[in-house]
Homo-oligomer: A and B are copies of this chain.
């Protein structure tokens, strides 16, 4: 049906000067179906294909910084806008990411994340041969946001404890997370070390265990404090995972809102069908 039209030439010729960047055949990326054809051959997609190939072959290795946009524009004999379009597309694809005014970088392998597991973040990261770090940004009592009143079944104008944290993998902040806790269940939690696993803390200090949870996964755009914490520009794509957790007595314990850099994670869930 769909015909496979790969761009197999090594020389990416530009309109005026001609540019040689890629000398290797591309490897197949998991999310690149071999059944999809490349139908366009615009300048834009030549830039994309060239960069994609360099990334696939690790000629551009994970974490490496790309040349400046102006430099790439010169290299490909075009303007910054065209280059930016190409880079945005690769960003959407998750192959590269940007840091606000710092430049563009090749993405690191995605963390495999199972939101149904109560495995601790640090453990999960270590199990994947990566290094984790957690930073507490704030802990304060707030009036429950109205959508949480509904979601958590609270009475209106309830108070909640809000804990904000940033989590890093291999030195890069990839996750901004807000926890909303029912204060009556967690007296004095402000005095605890909140950079550790909250799940462990709940259990050790308060005898509360997750029994079941419900989570929503929703790709969206980042704004506000989450954006600056993640070094992202306003409106960059992220993956929002919100969870409601129930304890062994089926009471709502807390609610998380995780904002993941969308190139940094792959959700994997094992489940029984029902």
Q: Which residues of A contact B (CB under 8 A)?
A: 1-2, 28, 30-40, 45, 48, 81, 88-90, 92-94, 110, 115-118, 137-138, 140, 142, 145-147, 162, 164, 178, 209-221, 223-228, 234-237, 239-240, 245, 257, 262, 266-274
> A223 and B273: CB pair below 8 A?
no
> B225 and A36: CB pair below 8 A?
yes
**How far is B178's CA from A117's CA once the two chains are assembled, in angstroms?**
28
> A93 and B39: CB pair below 8 A?
no
B137, B213, B272: the one within 8 Å of A1 (CB): B137
> B235 and A93: CB pair below 8 A?
yes
13 contacts between A and B (CB under 8 A): A1-B225, A2-B225, A28-B145, A33-B178, A35-B145, A36-B226, A36-B227, A92-B221, A214-B269, A216-B266, A217-B266, A217-B268, A269-B269
> A219 and B145: CB pair below 8 A?
no
> A1 and B138: CB pair below 8 A?
yes
**How far is B248's CA from A150's CA once the two chains are assembled, in angstroms?**
38
A145 proximity list for chain B (CB < 8 A): 28, 33-35
A224 proximity list for chain B (CB < 8 A): 2, 33, 35-39
A30 proximity list for chain B (CB < 8 A): 147
Residue of B nearest to A5 (CB): B224
